[in-house]
Structure 1
Protein backbone atom coordinates (compact mmCIF):
# COMPACT_ATOMS: atom_id res chain seq x y z
CA UNK A 1 0.00 0.00 0.00
CA UNK A 2 2.84 2.38 0.84
CA UNK A 3 4.50 1.65 -2.51
CA UNK A 4 1.29 2.61 -4.36
CA UNK A 5 0.91 5.92 -2.49
CA UNK A 6 4.59 6.75 -3.02
CA UNK A 7 4.23 6.01 -6.72
CA UNK A 8 1.21 8.31 -6.98
CA UNK A 9 3.01 11.33 -5.54
CA UNK A 10 6.28 10.61 -7.39
CA UNK A 11 4.45 10.40 -10.73
CA UNK A 12 2.78 13.75 -10.01
CA UNK A 13 6.20 15.24 -9.22
CA UNK A 14 7.50 13.90 -12.53
CA UNK A 15 4.53 15.46 -14.35
CA UNK A 16 5.31 18.81 -12.69
CA UNK A 17 8.92 18.56 -13.90
CA UNK A 18 7.81 17.69 -17.46
CA UNK A 19 5.33 20.60 -17.53
CA UNK A 20 8.08 22.98 -16.37
CA UNK A 21 10.51 21.76 -19.04
CA UNK A 22 7.94 21.91 -21.86
CA UNK A 23 6.74 25.39 -20.92
CA UNK A 24 10.33 26.64 -20.59
CA UNK A 25 11.10 25.33 -24.08
CA UNK A 26 7.95 26.30 -25.97
CA UNK A 27 6.43 29.35 -24.23
CA UNK A 28 8.44 32.56 -24.73
CA UNK A 29 9.15 34.37 -21.48
CA UNK A 30 8.20 31.48 -19.18
CA UNK A 31 11.76 30.83 -17.98
CA UNK A 32 12.58 34.52 -17.59
CA UNK A 33 13.41 35.78 -14.10
CA UNK A 34 10.41 38.13 -13.97
CA UNK A 35 7.90 35.33 -14.67
CA UNK A 36 9.57 32.92 -12.24
CA UNK A 37 9.43 35.62 -9.55
CA UNK A 38 5.73 36.21 -10.22
CA UNK A 39 5.03 32.49 -9.83
CA UNK A 40 7.01 32.31 -6.59
CA UNK A 41 5.05 35.23 -5.15
CA UNK A 42 1.66 33.81 -6.20
CA UNK A 43 2.29 30.22 -5.14
CA UNK A 44 2.32 30.64 -1.31
CA UNK A 45 -1.19 32.11 -0.96
CA UNK A 46 -2.64 29.47 -3.31
CA UNK A 47 -0.63 26.72 -1.63
CA UNK A 48 -1.79 27.60 1.88
CA UNK A 49 -5.45 27.61 0.84
CA UNK A 50 -4.96 24.29 -1.00
CA UNK A 51 -3.42 22.73 2.13
CA UNK A 52 -6.33 24.03 4.19
CA UNK A 53 -8.79 22.48 1.76
CA UNK A 54 -6.83 19.23 1.62
CA UNK A 55 -6.89 18.62 5.36
CA UNK A 56 -10.67 19.17 5.41
CA UNK A 57 -11.25 16.87 2.42
CA UNK A 58 -9.19 14.13 4.13
CA UNK A 59 -11.93 13.95 6.79
CA UNK A 60 -14.57 13.52 4.08
CA UNK A 61 -15.71 17.15 4.33
CA UNK A 62 -15.23 20.35 2.35
CA UNK A 63 -14.89 24.03 3.27
CA UNK A 64 -16.58 26.33 0.76
CA UNK A 65 -16.04 29.30 3.08
CA UNK A 66 -12.24 29.05 3.11
CA UNK A 67 -11.57 32.06 0.85
CA UNK A 68 -14.09 34.20 2.76
CA UNK A 69 -12.39 33.27 6.02
CA UNK A 70 -9.22 34.64 4.42
CA UNK A 71 -11.12 37.76 3.37
CA UNK A 72 -12.51 38.23 6.91
CA UNK A 73 -8.99 38.00 8.34
CA UNK A 74 -7.65 40.40 5.73
CA UNK A 75 -10.35 42.97 6.40
CA UNK A 76 -9.70 42.74 10.15
CA UNK A 77 -5.98 43.33 9.59
CA UNK A 78 -6.68 46.23 7.25
CA UNK A 79 -9.09 47.89 9.70
CA UNK A 80 -6.62 47.57 12.57
CA UNK A 81 -3.73 49.04 10.59
CA UNK A 82 -5.82 51.83 9.06
CA UNK A 83 -6.76 52.86 12.61
CA UNK A 84 -3.13 53.10 13.65
CA UNK A 85 -2.62 49.84 15.54
CA UNK A 86 0.83 48.18 15.38
CA UNK A 87 1.45 45.61 12.66
CA UNK A 88 1.88 42.68 15.07
CA UNK A 89 -1.35 43.53 16.89
CA UNK A 90 -3.21 43.71 13.57
CA UNK A 91 -1.83 40.33 12.48
CA UNK A 92 -2.81 38.68 15.79
CA UNK A 93 -6.33 40.11 15.53
CA UNK A 94 -6.57 38.88 11.92
CA UNK A 95 -5.59 35.35 12.95
CA UNK A 96 -8.07 35.43 15.86
CA UNK A 97 -10.86 36.50 13.47
CA UNK A 98 -9.94 33.63 11.14
CA UNK A 99 -9.96 31.15 14.03
CA UNK A 100 -13.36 32.49 15.14
CA UNK A 101 -14.72 31.74 11.66
CA UNK A 102 -13.22 28.26 11.84
CA UNK A 103 -14.78 27.81 15.28
CA UNK A 104 -18.23 28.54 13.84
CA UNK A 105 -17.74 25.93 11.10
CA UNK A 106 -16.21 23.41 13.48
CA UNK A 107 -18.90 23.79 16.13
CA UNK A 108 -21.83 23.28 13.77
CA UNK A 109 -20.16 20.39 11.93
CA UNK A 110 -18.56 18.54 14.85
CA UNK A 111 -21.00 19.24 17.66
CA UNK A 112 -24.36 19.42 15.87
CA UNK A 113 -23.49 17.09 12.99
CA UNK A 114 -24.69 19.17 10.04
CA UNK A 115 -23.17 18.29 6.63
CA UNK A 116 -19.92 20.24 5.98
CA UNK A 117 -20.99 21.33 2.49
CA UNK A 118 -24.22 22.85 3.85
CA UNK A 119 -22.55 24.51 6.83
CA UNK A 120 -19.69 26.06 4.86
CA UNK A 121 -22.05 27.15 2.08
CA UNK A 122 -24.07 28.99 4.73
CA UNK A 123 -21.05 30.51 6.46
CA UNK A 124 -19.64 31.54 3.07
CA UNK A 125 -22.74 33.69 2.53
CA UNK A 126 -22.60 34.87 6.16
CA UNK A 127 -18.95 35.95 6.01
CA UNK A 128 -19.49 37.63 2.64
CA UNK A 129 -22.41 39.59 4.09
CA UNK A 130 -20.39 40.67 7.13
CA UNK A 131 -17.51 41.85 4.95
CA UNK A 132 -19.83 43.77 2.62
CA UNK A 133 -21.51 45.47 5.58
CA UNK A 134 -18.11 46.59 6.85
CA UNK A 135 -16.46 47.58 3.58
CA UNK A 136 -19.59 48.68 1.64
CA UNK A 137 -18.15 46.77 -1.30
CA UNK A 138 -14.94 48.81 -1.51
CA UNK A 139 -11.39 47.84 -0.61
CA UNK A 140 -9.51 48.89 2.53
CA UNK A 141 -5.87 49.95 2.27
CA UNK A 142 -3.38 51.87 4.38
CA UNK A 143 -0.88 49.19 5.36
CA UNK A 144 2.54 49.99 6.78
CA UNK A 145 5.67 49.57 4.66
CA UNK A 146 6.99 46.84 6.94
CA UNK A 147 3.76 44.88 6.49
CA UNK A 148 4.07 45.01 2.70
CA UNK A 149 7.44 43.25 2.98
CA UNK A 150 5.69 40.03 4.06
CA UNK A 151 4.18 39.52 0.64
CA UNK A 152 6.69 41.44 -1.50
CA UNK A 153 10.02 41.17 0.31
CA UNK A 154 12.97 38.80 -0.09
CA UNK A 155 15.07 36.92 2.42
CA UNK A 156 18.74 37.78 1.82
CA UNK A 157 17.64 39.30 -1.50
CA UNK A 158 17.05 35.89 -3.07
CA UNK A 159 14.08 33.92 -1.72
CA UNK A 160 10.63 35.57 -1.27
CA UNK A 161 9.63 35.75 2.39
CA UNK A 162 6.19 34.37 1.49
CA UNK A 163 7.79 31.19 0.09
CA UNK A 164 9.59 30.64 3.40
CA UNK A 165 6.30 31.08 5.28
CA UNK A 166 4.61 28.58 2.94
CA UNK A 167 7.41 26.01 3.32
CA UNK A 168 7.20 26.31 7.12
CA UNK A 169 3.45 25.64 7.21
CA UNK A 170 3.71 22.89 4.58
CA UNK A 171 6.27 21.07 6.75
CA UNK A 172 4.18 21.71 9.87
CA UNK A 173 1.06 20.31 8.19
CA UNK A 174 2.95 17.25 6.97
CA UNK A 175 4.37 16.56 10.42
CA UNK A 176 1.00 17.03 12.14
CA UNK A 177 -0.73 14.62 9.74
CA UNK A 178 1.98 11.96 9.62
CA UNK A 179 3.55 12.03 13.07
CA UNK A 180 0.84 12.92 15.59
CA UNK A 181 -2.10 11.10 17.13
CA UNK A 182 -4.40 13.86 15.87
CA UNK A 183 -3.15 13.40 12.30
CA UNK A 184 -3.76 9.66 12.40
CA UNK A 185 -7.25 10.32 13.75
CA UNK A 186 -7.93 12.70 10.83
CA UNK A 187 -7.25 9.89 8.35
CA UNK A 188 -9.26 7.40 10.41
CA UNK A 189 -12.32 9.66 10.44
CA UNK A 190 -12.09 10.08 6.68
CA UNK A 191 -11.88 6.31 6.18
CA UNK A 192 -14.57 5.20 8.65
CA UNK A 193 -15.96 7.67 11.21
CA UNK A 194 -18.12 5.05 12.98
CA UNK A 195 -15.25 2.63 13.49
CA UNK A 196 -13.04 5.53 14.59
CA UNK A 197 -15.59 6.56 17.21
CA UNK A 198 -15.81 3.02 18.59
CA UNK A 199 -12.02 2.80 18.73
CA UNK A 200 -12.03 5.51 21.41
CA UNK A 201 -11.29 8.59 19.27
CA UNK A 202 -13.18 11.78 20.06
CA UNK A 203 -14.39 12.54 16.51
CA UNK A 204 -15.90 15.86 17.53
CA UNK A 205 -12.65 17.17 18.98
CA UNK A 206 -10.62 16.01 15.97
CA UNK A 207 -13.01 17.67 13.49
CA UNK A 208 -13.05 20.88 15.52
CA UNK A 209 -9.26 21.07 15.32
CA UNK A 210 -9.35 20.34 11.58
CA UNK A 211 -11.59 23.34 10.84
CA UNK A 212 -9.62 25.55 13.24
CA UNK A 213 -6.34 24.58 11.58
CA UNK A 214 -7.79 25.13 8.10
CA UNK A 215 -9.00 28.58 9.19
CA UNK A 216 -5.55 29.40 10.57
CA UNK A 217 -3.94 28.50 7.23
CA UNK A 218 -6.51 30.70 5.48
CA UNK A 219 -5.64 33.57 7.84
CA UNK A 220 -1.92 33.16 7.07
CA UNK A 221 -2.77 33.18 3.35
CA UNK A 222 -4.72 36.42 3.87
CA UNK A 223 -1.69 38.05 5.52
CA UNK A 224 0.39 37.25 2.43
CA UNK A 225 -2.35 38.39 0.02
CA UNK A 226 -3.17 41.68 1.75
CA UNK A 227 0.48 42.59 2.13
CA UNK A 228 1.12 41.76 -1.54
CA UNK A 229 -1.92 43.61 -2.92
CA UNK A 230 -1.81 46.39 -0.29
CA UNK A 231 -5.59 46.11 0.11
CA UNK A 232 -8.34 43.91 1.52
CA UNK A 233 -11.79 43.39 0.02
CA UNK A 234 -14.69 40.95 -0.09
CA UNK A 235 -13.39 38.85 -2.99
CA UNK A 236 -9.85 38.52 -1.62
CA UNK A 237 -8.59 35.17 -2.95
CA UNK A 238 -12.05 34.09 -4.16
CA UNK A 239 -10.56 32.74 -7.41
CA UNK A 240 -8.66 30.17 -5.36
CA UNK A 241 -11.79 28.35 -4.10
CA UNK A 242 -12.21 26.07 -7.12
CA UNK A 243 -8.46 25.84 -7.62
CA UNK A 244 -7.82 24.73 -4.02
CA UNK A 245 -10.29 21.86 -4.39
CA UNK A 246 -8.75 20.98 -7.77
CA UNK A 247 -5.21 21.03 -6.36
CA UNK A 248 -6.16 18.83 -3.40
CA UNK A 249 -7.90 16.26 -5.62
CA UNK A 250 -5.23 16.34 -8.35
CA UNK A 251 -2.65 15.91 -5.57
CA UNK A 252 -4.14 12.53 -4.72
CA UNK A 253 -6.52 13.45 -1.89
CA UNK A 254 -9.54 11.15 -1.94
CA UNK A 255 -12.70 13.26 -2.24
CA UNK A 256 -14.52 10.69 -0.04
CA UNK A 257 -11.83 11.16 2.62
CA UNK A 258 -9.26 8.89 4.23
CA UNK A 259 -6.22 9.70 2.09
CA UNK A 260 -4.19 12.74 1.16
CA UNK A 261 -0.58 13.86 1.35
CA UNK A 262 0.94 17.31 1.66
CA UNK A 263 3.61 16.67 -0.99
CA UNK A 264 0.97 15.61 -3.53
CA UNK A 265 -0.98 18.82 -2.95
CA UNK A 266 2.20 20.89 -3.30
CA UNK A 267 3.02 19.22 -6.63
CA UNK A 268 -0.54 19.93 -7.82
CA UNK A 269 -0.29 23.58 -6.74
CA UNK A 270 2.97 23.93 -8.69
CA UNK A 271 1.37 22.37 -11.78
CA UNK A 272 -1.66 24.66 -11.60
CA UNK A 273 0.56 27.70 -11.04
CA UNK A 274 2.70 26.85 -14.06
CA UNK A 275 -0.35 26.19 -16.25
CA UNK A 276 -1.95 29.47 -15.19
CA UNK A 277 1.26 31.43 -15.81
CA UNK A 278 1.93 29.70 -19.14
CA UNK A 279 -1.60 30.25 -20.44
CA UNK A 280 -1.44 33.88 -19.34
CA UNK A 281 1.79 34.36 -21.31
CA UNK A 282 0.05 32.81 -24.33
CA UNK A 283 -2.69 35.42 -24.06
CA UNK A 284 -5.45 33.07 -22.90
CA UNK A 285 -8.16 35.00 -21.01
CA UNK A 286 -8.82 34.35 -17.32
CA UNK A 287 -12.34 32.92 -17.84
CA UNK A 288 -10.93 30.32 -20.25
CA UNK A 289 -8.25 29.42 -17.70
CA UNK A 290 -11.00 28.88 -15.09
CA UNK A 291 -12.88 26.67 -17.56
CA UNK A 292 -9.76 24.56 -18.06
CA UNK A 293 -9.27 24.25 -14.27
CA UNK A 294 -12.86 23.06 -13.97
CA UNK A 295 -12.36 20.50 -16.74
CA UNK A 296 -9.21 19.21 -15.01
CA UNK A 297 -11.10 18.86 -11.71
CA UNK A 298 -14.01 16.97 -13.29
CA UNK A 299 -11.64 14.73 -15.25
CA UNK A 300 -9.63 13.82 -12.16
CA UNK A 301 -12.82 13.11 -10.17
CA UNK A 302 -14.17 10.85 -12.93
CA UNK A 303 -10.85 9.00 -13.26
CA UNK A 304 -10.65 8.49 -9.49
CA UNK A 305 -14.24 7.20 -9.43
CA UNK A 306 -13.60 4.75 -12.28
CA UNK A 307 -10.34 3.62 -10.67
CA UNK A 308 -12.14 3.03 -7.37
CA UNK A 309 -14.84 0.96 -9.08
CA UNK A 310 -12.23 -1.16 -10.89
CA UNK A 311 -10.31 -1.77 -7.64
CA UNK A 312 -13.54 -2.68 -5.85
CA UNK A 313 -14.44 -5.13 -8.64
CA UNK A 314 -10.96 -6.69 -8.53
CA UNK A 315 -11.19 -7.13 -4.75
CA UNK A 316 -14.56 -8.87 -5.07
CA UNK A 317 -13.17 -11.11 -7.81
CA UNK A 318 -10.13 -11.99 -5.69
CA UNK A 319 -12.33 -12.72 -2.66
CA UNK A 320 -14.55 -14.97 -4.75
Structure 2
Protein backbone atom coordinates (compact mmCIF):
# COMPACT_ATOMS: atom_id res chain seq x y z
CA UNK A 1 0.00 0.00 0.00
CA UNK A 2 1.51 3.31 -1.10
CA UNK A 3 2.09 5.73 1.73
CA UNK A 4 2.94 9.42 2.08
CA UNK A 5 2.47 9.89 5.79
CA UNK A 6 4.70 7.48 7.74
CA UNK A 7 5.71 9.15 10.99
CA UNK A 8 3.41 12.13 10.42
CA UNK A 9 1.09 13.49 13.10
CA UNK A 10 -2.50 14.27 12.12
CA UNK A 11 -3.34 17.41 14.08
CA UNK A 12 -5.25 19.68 11.69
CA UNK A 13 -6.47 19.65 8.09
CA UNK A 14 -4.84 23.02 7.58
CA UNK A 15 -1.42 21.35 7.93
CA UNK A 16 -1.89 19.24 4.79
CA UNK A 17 -2.13 19.77 1.07
CA UNK A 18 -5.27 19.13 -0.95
CA UNK A 19 -3.53 16.17 -2.59
CA UNK A 20 -2.77 14.63 0.80
CA UNK A 21 -6.34 15.03 2.04
CA UNK A 22 -7.69 13.49 -1.17
CA UNK A 23 -5.30 10.57 -0.67
CA UNK A 24 -6.61 9.95 2.85
CA UNK A 25 -10.21 9.96 1.63
CA UNK A 26 -9.33 7.52 -1.18
CA UNK A 27 -7.57 5.27 1.31
CA UNK A 28 -10.61 5.39 3.60
CA UNK A 29 -12.87 4.40 0.70
CA UNK A 30 -10.62 1.42 -0.08
CA UNK A 31 -10.56 0.30 3.55
CA UNK A 32 -14.35 0.65 3.72
CA UNK A 33 -14.67 -1.54 0.63
CA UNK A 34 -12.48 -4.20 2.25
CA UNK A 35 -14.53 -4.01 5.46
CA UNK A 36 -17.82 -4.29 3.53
CA UNK A 37 -16.55 -7.28 1.54
CA UNK A 38 -15.12 -8.83 4.72
CA UNK A 39 -11.65 -8.85 3.19
CA UNK A 40 -8.81 -9.08 5.73
CA UNK A 41 -7.10 -5.74 6.35
CA UNK A 42 -5.24 -6.23 9.62
CA UNK A 43 -2.40 -3.96 8.55
CA UNK A 44 -1.61 -2.88 12.11
CA UNK A 45 -1.51 -6.28 13.79
CA UNK A 46 0.67 -6.16 16.90
CA UNK A 47 0.42 -2.40 17.36
CA UNK A 48 -1.07 -0.71 20.43
CA UNK A 49 -2.52 2.81 20.62
CA UNK A 50 -3.33 4.99 23.60
CA UNK A 51 -6.43 7.18 23.87
CA UNK A 52 -6.77 10.26 26.09
CA UNK A 53 -10.19 11.91 26.18
CA UNK A 54 -10.65 15.02 28.32
CA UNK A 55 -14.16 15.47 26.89
CA UNK A 56 -17.05 13.04 26.61
CA UNK A 57 -17.34 11.10 23.38
CA UNK A 58 -19.54 8.53 21.67
CA UNK A 59 -18.58 8.45 17.98
CA UNK A 60 -14.98 9.66 18.17
CA UNK A 61 -13.79 7.32 20.91
CA UNK A 62 -15.72 4.24 19.77
CA UNK A 63 -14.94 4.70 16.07
CA UNK A 64 -11.24 4.76 16.95
CA UNK A 65 -11.53 1.63 19.08
CA UNK A 66 -13.48 -0.17 16.33
CA UNK A 67 -11.05 1.03 13.65
CA UNK A 68 -7.97 -0.11 15.56
CA UNK A 69 -9.56 -3.50 16.28
CA UNK A 70 -10.52 -4.02 12.62
CA UNK A 71 -6.93 -3.25 11.65
CA UNK A 72 -5.63 -5.85 14.10
CA UNK A 73 -4.38 -3.35 16.68
CA UNK A 74 -5.25 -2.77 20.33
CA UNK A 75 -6.43 0.52 21.81
CA UNK A 76 -6.19 1.36 25.49
CA UNK A 77 -8.14 4.17 27.15
CA UNK A 78 -6.06 6.33 29.48
CA UNK A 79 -8.31 8.14 31.93
CA UNK A 80 -7.06 11.71 32.41
CA UNK A 81 -8.10 11.76 36.08
CA UNK A 82 -5.96 8.66 36.73
CA UNK A 83 -2.86 10.06 35.06
CA UNK A 84 -0.20 12.26 36.63
CA UNK A 85 -1.20 14.96 34.15
CA UNK A 86 -4.10 15.65 36.50
CA UNK A 87 -1.59 16.40 39.27
CA UNK A 88 0.49 18.77 37.20
CA UNK A 89 3.01 16.54 35.43
CA UNK A 90 4.29 18.41 32.35
CA UNK A 91 2.88 17.25 29.03
CA UNK A 92 6.40 16.75 27.69
CA UNK A 93 7.14 14.19 30.41
CA UNK A 94 3.90 12.29 29.84
CA UNK A 95 4.36 12.40 26.07
CA UNK A 96 7.86 10.94 26.11
CA UNK A 97 6.78 8.02 28.29
CA UNK A 98 3.64 7.32 26.25
CA UNK A 99 5.84 7.31 23.17
CA UNK A 100 7.81 4.39 24.67
CA UNK A 101 4.68 2.36 25.48
CA UNK A 102 2.41 2.93 22.49
CA UNK A 103 2.58 3.07 18.71
CA UNK A 104 0.50 6.24 18.64
CA UNK A 105 -1.85 8.47 20.63
CA UNK A 106 -5.41 9.58 19.90
CA UNK A 107 -6.32 12.62 21.99
CA UNK A 108 -9.43 14.74 22.52
CA UNK A 109 -8.71 17.85 24.54
CA UNK A 110 -9.37 21.57 24.73
CA UNK A 111 -6.62 23.73 23.23
CA UNK A 112 -4.82 22.93 19.97
CA UNK A 113 -1.57 23.75 21.75
CA UNK A 114 -2.00 20.61 23.89
CA UNK A 115 -2.01 18.18 20.95
CA UNK A 116 0.82 20.14 19.37
CA UNK A 117 2.93 19.76 22.52
CA UNK A 118 2.29 16.02 22.63
CA UNK A 119 3.35 15.84 18.99
CA UNK A 120 6.49 17.85 19.70
CA UNK A 121 7.71 15.25 22.19
CA UNK A 122 6.47 12.07 20.48
CA UNK A 123 7.98 10.28 17.50
CA UNK A 124 4.96 8.01 17.07
CA UNK A 125 1.86 9.59 15.49
CA UNK A 126 -0.40 11.86 17.50
CA UNK A 127 -3.94 12.10 16.11
CA UNK A 128 -6.27 14.97 16.99
CA UNK A 129 -9.63 13.57 18.13
CA UNK A 130 -11.02 17.13 18.55
CA UNK A 131 -9.79 20.40 19.95
CA UNK A 132 -11.37 23.84 20.01
CA UNK A 133 -9.64 24.63 16.70
CA UNK A 134 -10.29 21.57 14.52
CA UNK A 135 -11.91 18.14 14.27
CA UNK A 136 -9.83 16.78 11.37
CA UNK A 137 -11.07 13.17 11.55
CA UNK A 138 -14.65 14.40 11.28
CA UNK A 139 -13.59 16.50 8.31
CA UNK A 140 -12.36 13.42 6.45
CA UNK A 141 -15.57 11.52 7.21
CA UNK A 142 -17.58 14.44 5.85
CA UNK A 143 -15.62 14.50 2.60
CA UNK A 144 -15.97 10.74 2.16
CA UNK A 145 -19.73 10.90 2.80
CA UNK A 146 -20.28 13.73 0.30
CA UNK A 147 -18.20 11.93 -2.34
CA UNK A 148 -20.25 8.76 -1.85
CA UNK A 149 -23.60 10.54 -2.04
CA UNK A 150 -22.82 13.10 -4.74
CA UNK A 151 -20.40 11.13 -6.90
CA UNK A 152 -17.94 14.01 -7.03
CA UNK A 153 -17.00 17.10 -5.05
CA UNK A 154 -16.61 19.57 -7.89
CA UNK A 155 -19.55 21.95 -8.14
CA UNK A 156 -21.16 20.83 -4.89
CA UNK A 157 -22.51 23.56 -2.61
CA UNK A 158 -22.45 22.99 1.15
CA UNK A 159 -24.64 25.01 3.51
CA UNK A 160 -23.37 24.79 7.08
CA UNK A 161 -25.44 26.05 10.02
CA UNK A 162 -24.33 25.65 13.63
CA UNK A 163 -21.40 26.21 15.96
CA UNK A 164 -18.60 27.86 13.99
CA UNK A 165 -15.64 26.25 15.70
CA UNK A 166 -13.82 22.91 15.28
CA UNK A 167 -16.17 20.89 13.02
CA UNK A 168 -16.95 23.96 10.93
CA UNK A 169 -13.26 24.83 10.63
CA UNK A 170 -12.27 21.40 9.31
CA UNK A 171 -15.26 21.30 6.95
CA UNK A 172 -14.41 24.76 5.57
CA UNK A 173 -10.83 23.79 4.80
CA UNK A 174 -11.72 20.34 3.46
CA UNK A 175 -14.48 21.70 1.22
CA UNK A 176 -12.20 24.35 -0.24
CA UNK A 177 -9.44 21.80 -0.83
CA UNK A 178 -11.63 19.57 -3.00
CA UNK A 179 -13.39 22.33 -4.93
CA UNK A 180 -16.72 22.57 -3.12
CA UNK A 181 -18.44 25.86 -2.35
CA UNK A 182 -19.22 26.25 1.35
CA UNK A 183 -21.56 28.82 2.86
CA UNK A 184 -21.36 29.17 6.64
CA UNK A 185 -24.60 30.62 8.01
CA UNK A 186 -24.42 32.03 11.53
CA UNK A 187 -25.44 35.07 13.59
CA UNK A 188 -23.23 38.14 13.29
CA UNK A 189 -21.51 37.56 16.64
CA UNK A 190 -20.36 34.05 15.68
CA UNK A 191 -17.49 33.85 13.21
CA UNK A 192 -14.88 31.23 12.27
CA UNK A 193 -11.30 31.83 13.42
CA UNK A 194 -9.61 34.35 11.08
CA UNK A 195 -6.64 32.07 10.36
CA UNK A 196 -8.98 29.23 9.39
CA UNK A 197 -11.04 31.47 7.11
CA UNK A 198 -7.86 32.75 5.46
CA UNK A 199 -6.56 29.20 4.94
CA UNK A 200 -9.89 28.02 3.48
CA UNK A 201 -10.12 31.00 1.14
CA UNK A 202 -6.60 30.37 -0.17
CA UNK A 203 -7.52 26.78 -1.01
CA UNK A 204 -10.80 27.94 -2.57
CA UNK A 205 -8.96 30.42 -4.80
CA UNK A 206 -6.64 27.64 -5.97
CA UNK A 207 -9.55 25.29 -6.71
CA UNK A 208 -12.09 27.69 -8.22
CA UNK A 209 -14.53 27.41 -5.32
CA UNK A 210 -15.96 29.80 -2.73
CA UNK A 211 -15.95 30.14 1.05
CA UNK A 212 -18.69 32.50 2.20
CA UNK A 213 -19.60 33.45 5.78
CA UNK A 214 -23.07 34.98 5.93
CA UNK A 215 -25.89 35.85 8.31
CA UNK A 216 -28.36 35.12 5.51
CA UNK A 217 -29.55 31.53 6.01
CA UNK A 218 -31.69 31.67 2.86
CA UNK A 219 -28.65 32.63 0.77
CA UNK A 220 -26.70 29.71 2.20
CA UNK A 221 -29.56 27.27 1.56
CA UNK A 222 -30.28 28.40 -2.00
CA UNK A 223 -29.25 25.61 -4.43
CA UNK A 224 -27.38 23.78 -1.67
CA UNK A 225 -26.55 20.12 -2.33
CA UNK A 226 -25.58 19.48 1.28
CA UNK A 227 -27.25 20.98 4.35
CA UNK A 228 -25.00 20.41 7.36
CA UNK A 229 -26.08 20.94 10.96
CA UNK A 230 -24.20 21.04 14.23
CA UNK A 231 -25.08 21.56 17.85
CA UNK A 232 -25.36 25.17 19.00
CA UNK A 233 -23.77 24.73 22.41
CA UNK A 234 -20.61 23.01 23.57
CA UNK A 235 -19.60 20.87 26.51
CA UNK A 236 -18.67 22.91 29.57
CA UNK A 237 -20.95 25.89 28.92
CA UNK A 238 -23.18 26.99 31.76
CA UNK A 239 -26.97 27.16 31.49
CA UNK A 240 -26.98 30.90 30.79
CA UNK A 241 -24.50 30.53 27.91
CA UNK A 242 -26.47 27.59 26.55
CA UNK A 243 -29.76 29.50 26.58
CA UNK A 244 -28.16 32.50 24.86
CA UNK A 245 -26.80 30.33 22.07
CA UNK A 246 -30.15 28.60 21.56
CA UNK A 247 -31.81 32.02 21.30
CA UNK A 248 -29.17 33.35 18.89
CA UNK A 249 -29.14 30.31 16.59
CA UNK A 250 -32.86 29.48 16.52
CA UNK A 251 -33.36 31.29 13.16
CA UNK A 252 -30.82 28.81 11.74
CA UNK A 253 -32.68 25.64 12.73
CA UNK A 254 -32.63 22.99 10.00
CA UNK A 255 -36.26 21.97 9.62
CA UNK A 256 -38.48 20.91 6.72
CA UNK A 257 -38.91 24.53 5.63
CA UNK A 258 -35.15 25.02 5.52
CA UNK A 259 -34.57 21.80 3.57
CA UNK A 260 -37.21 22.88 1.04
CA UNK A 261 -35.04 25.90 0.18
CA UNK A 262 -32.11 23.66 -0.82
CA UNK A 263 -31.97 21.51 -3.95
CA UNK A 264 -34.65 18.86 -4.24
CA UNK A 265 -32.09 16.05 -3.95
CA UNK A 266 -30.05 17.73 -1.18
CA UNK A 267 -28.74 15.58 1.65
CA UNK A 268 -28.80 16.38 5.36
CA UNK A 269 -25.62 15.84 7.36
CA UNK A 270 -24.84 16.29 11.05
CA UNK A 271 -21.72 15.42 13.05
CA UNK A 272 -23.90 14.50 16.08
CA UNK A 273 -24.95 14.65 18.80
CA UNK A 274 -27.96 16.52 17.48
CA UNK A 275 -30.68 18.09 19.60
CA UNK A 276 -34.11 17.66 18.10
CA UNK A 277 -36.10 20.86 18.37
CA UNK A 278 -32.93 22.97 18.50
CA UNK A 279 -30.36 22.67 15.71
CA UNK A 280 -32.60 20.35 13.67
CA UNK A 281 -35.97 18.64 13.84
CA UNK A 282 -36.90 15.00 14.18
CA UNK A 283 -38.58 15.17 10.78
CA UNK A 284 -35.28 16.10 9.12
CA UNK A 285 -32.88 13.72 10.87
CA UNK A 286 -35.28 10.79 10.43
CA UNK A 287 -36.24 11.80 6.89
CA UNK A 288 -35.27 10.39 3.50
CA UNK A 289 -32.66 13.11 2.90
CA UNK A 290 -30.73 12.33 6.08
CA UNK A 291 -27.41 10.52 5.69
CA UNK A 292 -26.20 11.01 9.27
CA UNK A 293 -25.88 7.29 10.06
CA UNK A 294 -23.76 6.63 6.97
CA UNK A 295 -21.75 9.71 7.91
CA UNK A 296 -21.26 8.36 11.44
CA UNK A 297 -20.08 5.00 10.13
CA UNK A 298 -17.57 6.76 7.91
CA UNK A 299 -15.88 8.09 11.03
CA UNK A 300 -14.55 4.56 11.56
CA UNK A 301 -13.27 4.14 8.01
CA UNK A 302 -11.53 7.52 7.87
CA UNK A 303 -9.84 6.91 11.23
CA UNK A 304 -8.59 3.62 9.79
CA UNK A 305 -7.08 5.58 6.91
CA UNK A 306 -5.29 7.97 9.27
CA UNK A 307 -3.97 5.08 11.38
CA UNK A 308 -2.71 3.14 8.37
CA UNK A 309 -1.21 6.19 6.67
CA UNK A 310 0.67 7.43 9.73
CA UNK A 311 1.76 4.02 11.04
CA UNK A 312 2.93 1.91 8.08
What TM-score results when the alignment is normalised by the length of structure 2? Answer: 0.24
Q: Name the structure where helix makes up a greater proportion of residues.
A: 1
TM (norm. structure 1) is: 0.24
| Larger-Rg structure | 1
